[in-house]
Amino acid sequence: MEAFLLSGMLDEVDLVAAPPRAKPPLNGTVNPEVCTEIKECLVKETEKGATSILQTRTYDLFITYDKYYRTPRLWLYGYDEERLPLTESQMYEDFSQDHAKKTVTTEQHPHLPGMVMPSIHPCRQADVMRKLIETVAEGGAELAVHQYLVIFLKFVQAVIPTIEYDYTRHFNLDWPS
């Protein structure tokens, strides 16, 4: 045990961990107090003011079951390229404008106290899912229970087209009988 303590494994500060980086400026300037290398901080702007560097966002997806509507419910929590939480307005930039503030609503997560996040409201999901399942049935095929979640995620893809999470195979609703 003494060798373990001397090795530093119980130290709370990791001496080899990289320090957190500050966000680079978006005006093409370099702040030498923040940047360690010019390459990582210099952001070139195009004529329209948009940056030429692709800004990535990451989302945590939570799926709960809504007992009232009896459907799955998808919750989203977004992070920027520095893993800092996105604001509500930043997250709504990634949602289809036809569905923002209508199908996508911001509410309290039912199982994570204090977490308010956007979700796909389940009020019309059952109808949409029923129509999709009927379309498959009209094509002569039958959906197994385990395929429901795949269909649900493909439905959600229409509401949130900018988020890539669906790496399943192509799903054809007009299956031959």
CA dihedral 149, 151, 155, 156 (to 10 degrees): 30
Q: With bands split at pLDDT 50, 70 and 90, how would you rate the model's confidence at 26?
A: very low
Is the overall model pTM greater than 0.85, yes or no?
Answer: no
pLDDT, position 39: 38
Q: Are residues 98 and 32 in the same domain?
A: no
Q: Is 99 left (phi over 0), alpha (psi -120 to 50) or beta?
A: alpha
- Which of 22, 26, 116, 123 is an active site residue? 123
Q: Are residues 63 and 24 in the same domain?
A: no
Q: With bands split at pLDDT 50, 70 and 90, how would you rate the model's confidence at 64?
A: very high
118 CB burial (10 A radius; 0-12, 13-18, 19+): buried
Q: Hunting for tokens 């990582």 — which residue is that? A: 40
Q: Are residues 147 and 66 in the same domain?
A: yes
pLDDT in tens, 149-170: 878 877 777 777 777 765 655 5
Q: Are residues 9 and 74 in the same domain?
A: no
* Least confident window among 43-47, 83-87, 89-93: 43-47
Q: Are residues 48 and 64 in the same domain?
A: no
Q: Is 41 a catalytic residue?
A: no
Element (H, E) at 127: helix 125-138
Q: Are residues 66 and 129 in the same domain?
A: yes
pLDDT, position 55: 72
Q: Are residues 46 and 67 in the same domain?
A: no
75 pLDDT more than 90: yes
pLDDT in tens, 118-140: 998 888 788 888 888 888 888 88
Q: What's the domain range around 96?
A: 58-159
Helices 148-159/125-138 angle, 10° precision: 120
pLDDT, position 33: 47
Q: Are residues 65 and 126 in the same domain?
A: yes
Mean pLDDT of 9-15: 56
Instruction: Name the domain count of the chain.
Output: 2
- Cβ within 8 Å of residue 177, ≥6 positions away: 139, 140, 141
